[in-house]
Amino acid sequence: MSSAKKWCIRFLFWLFGTQLYRANAAFGIMCKGSYVKKRGKLIILICFITAVVITGIWVVRTIRLQYPVCRDSQIMKQLESDEIAPEFVLQGKYYLLPSPMDAFLDDGWEIRMIYGRKMEQGYRKSVISDEQMLMPGECVDAVIRWKESSDQLNVQVANLSEESSKITEGQVIRVEMDSTWKSFDPVNRNGANRFVIKYGINLRTSGQQVKEMLKSLPGFLQEKEEYLLSEFEQIGIKIDGVEVYSIQLRQGSEMNMFSVSSNDVKRVRYKRTDQ
């Protein structure tokens, strides 16, 4: 249960106790007959409980729907395009994939880990240094961390040029984050606005809302999948064989994974570390 809901419940209990006491005291002064007094108290109690229940339902709905989609005008102005594109606003900054890795580093992100791939007991990740070079068409997975908090972002970095380059000089062609991003953010005051895509969709938007917003778009994708005895629902937008938006829902509505990809993911290969 979130802290906002806890404080709301505490307030309702306090309001119920204090106001009921005052109502009883006032009615006791007004009514001298014990029978009338008891009936009056019962009526007041029933009316008050009904009012509290209705108020509680309204408050909970308000809290749950407070940030269903991003309503920040400055963020939404950057996402006004009608085209379906791998664009998003991350920590207040606008990105369109592919985007230079330098742009993320300049905006306050730092590299925590970089992975290549090696053929050893299957296709496994292997930690490599950021000083290694990427050949044309090669890519790596990386974990970057926001310097002002513990937020981490998974990115795919590729060399889209015709010459070898450092990983830090590559292009980010895919970003991915998980459900931990729904937590409160001390910088933006609201975790919902830390990562926003088309229509203001963010990690706190319900699965049903996302379906309603995306289902009319070309390339809408919806399918079921199972992983480790858990069932997930995958929805998104797939264009030219690439899932531009990919959203994994847990238990039918809760966001579990969110990714945005550019068309370049089709023409790159992972850097091999066992050669």
* Residue 260 clears pLDDT 90, i.e. is over it: yes
Entry pTM? 0.70
Residue 26 confidence (pLDDT):
52
Whether the CB-CB separation of 184 and 204 falls below 8 Å is answered with no
* Residue 94 clears pLDDT 50, i.e. is over it: yes
- pLDDT per residue as tens digits for the range 162-213: 999 999 999 999 999 876 655 444 444 445 577 888 888 887 787 888 888 8
As a whole number of angstroms, the distance between CA 262 and CA 60 comes to: 38
Q: Which of 176, 230, 196, 233 is nearest to 67 (CA)?
A: 196
Instruction: Select the highest-mean-pLDDT range: 70-84, 101-115, 250-264.
Output: 101-115
Q: Render the burial of 98-135: b for 16+ CB within 10 Å, e for the rest.
A: bbebeebeeeebebeebbbbbeeeeeeebebeeeeebe
Residue 11 confidence (pLDDT):
62
As a whole number of angstroms, the distance between CA 200 and CA 75 comes to: 8
Residue 189 confidence (pLDDT):
44
- What is the dihedral angle through the alpha carbons of 238, 240, 242, 248, rounded to the nearest 10 degrees? 10
Sort 175 into a burial class: Cβ within 10 Å, 0-12 / 13-18 / 19+.
buried
Domain range summary for the chain, segments of one domain joined by +: 3-64, 73-270
Instruction: Select the highest-mean-pLDDT range: 16-25, 43-52, 161-170.
Output: 161-170
Region 220-240: what's the mean pLDDT?
80
Residue, of 142 and 40, whose pLDDT is higher: 142
Q: Which two tokens stand for residue 54?
A: 């209705």
